[in-house]
Amino acid sequence: MKNRRWASVFCAILILALLLPLFGRSPAQAYSDPYIRIGLAYGNSALVSANLENSVGTGYRLGYFDDAYNFTALHTTYQSQLTVLKDSNTYLSGGTYSASVPSGSYSCIGAYHIQPAGTYGSEAAATVAAAAYNGGFPAWINGAFHVRIGCYTNQSDAENAAAALGLTDYSVVGASATAVTVTQTGTTEVLFQFDGGTSTSLAVMPGQDDSEKTVTWFKGYRYYGGFQYKRLNGGNLTVINVVRMEDYIKGVLPYEMSASWPLEALKAQAVSARTFAANSYYKHSSSGFDLCNSTCCQVYRGLNSAGANSDAAVDGTAGVYMRYNGALITAYYHASDGGATESSENVWGTKLGYIVGVIDPYEADVADKITRYHWTMSYTSAQLTNRLNGMGYTCSDIVRVYVSEYTPTGNPKTVTFVDSAGKSISLSGTAMHNAFTISSLGKGLGSYRFDITGNGTGGGGPVYVNNGEQISSLEGVYVADGDGNVTALPGNEAYVIDGSGSVSSVTAGSGGTSDTFTLIGSGSGHNLGMSQWGAYAMSKRGYTYDQILHFYYTDVTLGA
């Protein structure tokens, strides 16, 4: 009896435990994967003609999006290949469309069309009416369905054709700066024409409805989602991929980090890429899209390089963003920190509470895998002297360069340059970076983690004491030990031990000045935020993506 009662209590607890997660999840917390607009062809690369081909899915719906990305279909086709053209005289030769008259034989899709009077109540009615004419097609012009006939290169050809058809109540419409023409690829057969003025652009949604997750070829790459075509200032076609955020991140991740890397590192990168994207919406709004597909924003090439591993990293972090004090962060990352990251104010001058330098004990695990983990860069006195004068710091020959202040993580905060007249120039942050950046010679900092050696390649330079003065001889120099005991150097010789334990003699006394300075550094990039190789090393040690992100980004929260 007693046992049975306990059994039923346990049973009730079990049922409650099973039900609680369901009740605990409110519908408001469900992640609605937002749309994002990615420019695929824009600016100088905007197109006269843009082809699509079904990879997964059948045919297309032609229509437009409202501001909330609700799609209205105006026309559907089962053609697997279609081409969107700007409405201007366009020439077709050898399957290729062009704006100029090609050599050899060609056919033409002209910008002049016959438009019989009257509008139609539906696309179906316009299509039926258009079929009565050879070369007739339906058109959606500023909210109304019309029939249009033919594509002529000039007004009189269109007038003559209308007369031959016996039409009396019609107009001839010429090229519109906002119209686009849709053809069956490689032909002059017009499927549909669209002109929504400057406010409404043609959108193409692959597939006959939303039941199938479509994949579509555009210029050699395969994309999820739909496409939008804008003619900015009446120009060529700006082609935009309208895609869900998670599908977009799947097309970014393998370009930011190798899809063969450990899953937790990829997940950390996915959260960074997603956060960057959400924080950069409308970056290209003047061009009619949110983000471009190049390094200007994030490289995005659709599905081509995505794999099961990178897709799993995106799915495994779907809807997770990084925030600091409630606001999306700018998730800076770099290839390798060389042993420590750096605070933003020491690199770019602007303090960000979540970009705080940390000593990285993980990355060195995989140093042998990292290209350019160790780097050196040598500068002659003349190069640095020219550079500093070019930056507006008047100086004579630079004879000494040294790190005069380090950050808490051991990276150079300030570098001091001393010229032959004894003038000191101390530079930090971007100015320090710029002093070492001589693009014409291909010289620059590999990272923000380095030391400076080699006050001269030939002969000993002077020895400097801690008040900045030079001494030309070690004769009569005293040294202090850790207990404060002061001892005279036994001879004109002293030794120093560097960070790797190498011992070298200090050779003062020649009084010579140096003409070559060598920066010896580790790491690759700006040392801000996450080190990608550090993430790799942490994941190899068993850390999860959230632990990786919390290590490299200070006081951030992860969530929707």
Structure tokens at 169: 């109540």
Whole-angstrom distance, CA of residue 42 vs CA of residue 288: 10
Size of the site for Zn ion (CB under 5 A): 3
**Min. distance of Cβ 293 from Zn ion in angstroms?**
8
Interface pick for Zn ion out of 162, 172, 202, 292 (rule CB under 5 A): 292
Q: Which residue stretch of 246-254, 294-302, 367-375, 521-529 sits at the interface with Zn ion (rule: CB under 5 A)?
A: 294-302
DSSP state, 359? B
Q: Does 144 bind Zn ion (CB under 5 A)?
A: no
Whole-angstrom distance, CA of residue 56 vs CA of residue 184: 18
Q: Which residue stretch of 13-21, 113-121, 295-303, 360-368 sits at the interface with Zn ion (rule: CB under 5 A)?
A: 295-303
Q: Under a CB-based contact definition with an 8 Å cutoff, are residues 269 and 535 in contact?
A: yes
Show contacts with Zn ion in window 35-54 (CB under 5 A): none
**Min. distance of Cβ 448 from Zn ion in angstroms?**
25
Distance of alpha carbon 215 from the chain centroid = 22
**Min. distance of Cβ 213 from Zn ion in angstroms?**
26
User: Considering beta carbons, is residue 281 or 402 the nearer one to Zn ion?
Assistant: 281
Q: Which residue stretch of 30-38, 286-294, 365-373, 416-424 sits at the interface with Zn ion (rule: CB under 5 A)?
A: 286-294
Q: Which residue stretch of 201-209, 292-300, 472-480, 547-555 sits at the interface with Zn ion (rule: CB under 5 A)?
A: 292-300
Interface pick for Zn ion out of 12, 14, 132, 296 (rule CB under 5 A): 296
3-state helix, strand, coil in the chain (%, to 5): 25, 35, 40
Whole-angstrom distance, CA of residue 318 vs CA of residue 313: 9
User: Considering beta carbons, is residue 113 or 284 the nearer one to Zn ion?
Assistant: 284
Mask: binding to Zn ion, 224-263, rule CB under 5 A, as x and -?
A: ----------------------------------------
Q: Which residue stretch of 91-99, 159-167, 287-295, 378-386 sits at the interface with Zn ion (rule: CB under 5 A)?
A: 287-295
**Min. distance of Cβ 255 from Zn ion in angstroms?**
14
Interface pick for Zn ion out of 297, 528, 535, 549 (rule CB under 5 A): 297
Structure tokens at 346: 């020491």
Q: Which residue stretch of 60-68, 189-197, 293-301, 533-541 sits at the interface with Zn ion (rule: CB under 5 A)?
A: 293-301
Whole-angstrom distance, CA of residue 126 vs CA of residue 192: 11
User: Considering beta carbons, is residue 232 or 364 the nearer one to Zn ion?
Assistant: 232
| Residue of 191, 194, 181 lying closest to 142 (CA atoms) | 194
Whole-angstrom distance, CA of residue 84 vs CA of residue 90: 11
Structure tokens at 80: 């697997």
User: Considering beta carbons, is residue 293 or 532 the nearer one to Zn ion?
Assistant: 293
What lies within 8 Å, CB to CB, of 356 at 6+ separation is 343, 554
User: Considering beta carbons, is residue 206 or 302 the nearer one to Zn ion?
Assistant: 302
**Min. distance of Cβ 41 from Zn ion in angstroms?**
13
294-331 in b/e form (b: 16+ CB < 10 A) is eeebbebbbbebbbebbbebbeebeebbbbbeeebbbb
| Amino acid identity for residue 71 in this structure | F
**Min. distance of Cβ 39 from Zn ion in angstroms?**
7
**Min. distance of Cβ 421 from Zn ion in angstroms?**
47
Q: How far apart are the first and last CA of the chain?
A: 49
**Min. distance of Cβ 285 from Zn ion in angstroms?**
11
- Specify the length of the chain in residues: 560
User: Considering beta carbons, is residue 84 or 297 the nearer one to Zn ion?
Assistant: 297
Whole-angstrom distance, CA of residue 101 vs CA of residue 108: 9
**Min. distance of Cβ 282 from Zn ion in angstroms?**
11
Identify the three-state secondary structure at position 511: coil
Whole-angstrom distance, CA of residue 515 vs CA of residue 454: 9
Binding residues for Zn ion (CB under 5 A):
292, 296-297
